[in-house]
């Protein structure tokens, strides 16, 4: 199966989050026939090359996609090629990375490195990271990781997190004609929302500042009643210099509404430029520094492991109609991952020798 056929097969096997059984089974079959020893947990699969020696490198990407949105000009679940573009749901996010990583595994299958490499393709990345969280304890100690996501092969060394706050303004109900007897919870929420709209947290490198976005609001039971309750949500895409609990406390202290953490598991994350994984990736792409990424990924669940996010494709094409990957991007992806593995183990071996 050539690279294009592999990506076509992946894209033409529907795998919306929660429904990755078929893709996990067919990919396991293909990889087993090629001699890889596949392990599976739920609909996530992985295999290791090398004898569980350290350093142990992890290459990770995801099998699932978001559901198709409106606006497709063709069947999103059927890959087709037009002008050297492979079009279909997930072609860019992240089946292009999956295909490039698999092709890399094939290429290095019989090479020997001073260390071991685990290749993992997980389910449920788009919905909460259940896949990576379930398999991570089974992977053993990991010294470094590469997360395959469409970054245009730019090396991301920082990634924004996601903090969602649920804010509740409490008031006192009354007839709207006797408003002095009540306390208007929507007015209170409106003051708080203005405060949030003006708020800005300290900037972090090229990612810049973090600002709360109020994304949902509900309040009021009747058009002629002063409302006693109004609830709204604030979405904060946090940077690695911020701590979720501290941000929630600071916002809580500024608002009249009651503030509770609704979701905080996507913590912001970054990797120091001195880590081997960063230096190896930057050397391969010939760049002097990594960049920050505004989108979350399963990297958020690899806390404590030096990691970078890098893969073929363009994040702006993700979760949109007529998603595609250029065939040239697929080729460059394979070249990146194989050169990266080679460079990483060369650098790691030198470092061990110097200790
Ligand atoms: Zn993705």
Please state the three-class secondary structure of 280-313 as a single string.
HHHHHHCCCCCEEECCCCHHHHCCCCCEEECCCC
Give the distance (Å) from ligand 1 centre to CA of residue 255.
Answer: 35
Under the banding of pLDDT at 50, 70 and 90, the label for residue 204 is very high
Give the distance (Å) from ligand 1 centre to CA of residue 87.
Answer: 16
Give the distance (Å) from ligand 1 centre to CA of residue 311.
Answer: 10
pLDDT given at position 52: 77
Give the distance (Å) from ligand 1 centre to CA of residue 198.
Answer: 31
DSSP β-bridge partners for residue 325: 86
This prediction has a pTM of 0.93
Q: What is the β-pairing status of strands 156-159 and 291-293?
A: parallel
Greatest alpha-carbon pair distance for the chain in Å reads 82
Q: Average of pLDDT values for 309-337?
A: 98
Q: Average of pLDDT values for 66-80?
A: 97
Task: Say whether pLDDT at 11 is over 80.
Answer: yes
Neighbours of ion ligand 1 (CB under 5 A): 93-94, 149
342 φ, ψ (degrees, to nearest 5): -60, -50
Give the distance (Å) from ligand 1 centre to CA of residue 152.
Answer: 13
Give the distance (Å) from ligand 1 centre to CA of residue 98.
Answer: 10
Under the banding of pLDDT at 50, 70 and 90, the label for residue 51 is confident
Quickly count: other Cβ atoms within 10 Å of residue 350's Cβ.
10
Give the distance (Å) from ligand 1 centre to CA of residue 297.
Answer: 6
């Amino acid at each position: 199966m050539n690279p294009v056929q592999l990506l076509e097969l992946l894209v033409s096997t529907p795998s919306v989050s929660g429904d990755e059984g078929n893709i996990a089974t067919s990919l396991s079959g293909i990889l087993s026939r090629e001699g890889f020893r596949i392990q599976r947990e739920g609909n996530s699969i992985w295999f290791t090359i090398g004898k569980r020696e350290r350093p142990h490198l992890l290459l990770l990407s995801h099998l699932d996609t978001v559901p198709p949105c409106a606006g497709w000009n063709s069947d999103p679940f059927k890959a087709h090629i037009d002008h050297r573009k492979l079009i279909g749901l997930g072609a860019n996010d992240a089946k292009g990375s999956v295909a490039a990583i698999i092709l890399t595994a094939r290429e290095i299958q019989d090479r020997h490195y001073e260390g071991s490499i685990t290749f993992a393709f997980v389910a449920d990345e788009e919905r909460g990271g259940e896949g990576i969280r379930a398999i991570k304890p089974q992977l053993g100690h990991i010294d470094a990781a590469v997360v395959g996501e469409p970054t245009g092969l730019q090396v991301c060394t920082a990634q924004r997190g996601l903090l969602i706050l649920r804010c509740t303004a409490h008031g006192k109900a009354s007839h709207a004609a006797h408003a002095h007897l009540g306390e208007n919870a929507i007015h209170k929420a409106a003051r708080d929302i203005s405060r949030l709209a003006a708020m800005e947290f300290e900037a972090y490198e090229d990612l810049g500042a973090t600002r709360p976005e109020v994304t949902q609001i509900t309040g009021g039971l009747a058009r002629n009643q002063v409302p006693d309750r109004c609830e709204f949500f604030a979405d904060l895409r946090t940077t690695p210099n911020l701590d979720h609990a501290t941000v929630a406390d600071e916002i809580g202290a500024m608002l009249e509404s009651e503030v509770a953490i609704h979701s905080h598991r996507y913590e912001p994350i970054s990797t120091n430029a001195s880590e081997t994984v960063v230096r190896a990736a930057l050397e391969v792409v010939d760049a002097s520094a990594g960049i920050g990424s505004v989108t979350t990924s399963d990297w958020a669940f690899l806390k404590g492991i030096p990691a970078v996010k890098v893969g073929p494709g363009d994040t702006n094409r993700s979760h949109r109609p007529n998603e595609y990957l250029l065939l040239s991007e697929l080729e460059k992806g394979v070249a990146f991952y194989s050169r990266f593995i080679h460079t990483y183990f060369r650098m790691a071996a030198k470092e061990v020798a110097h200790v």
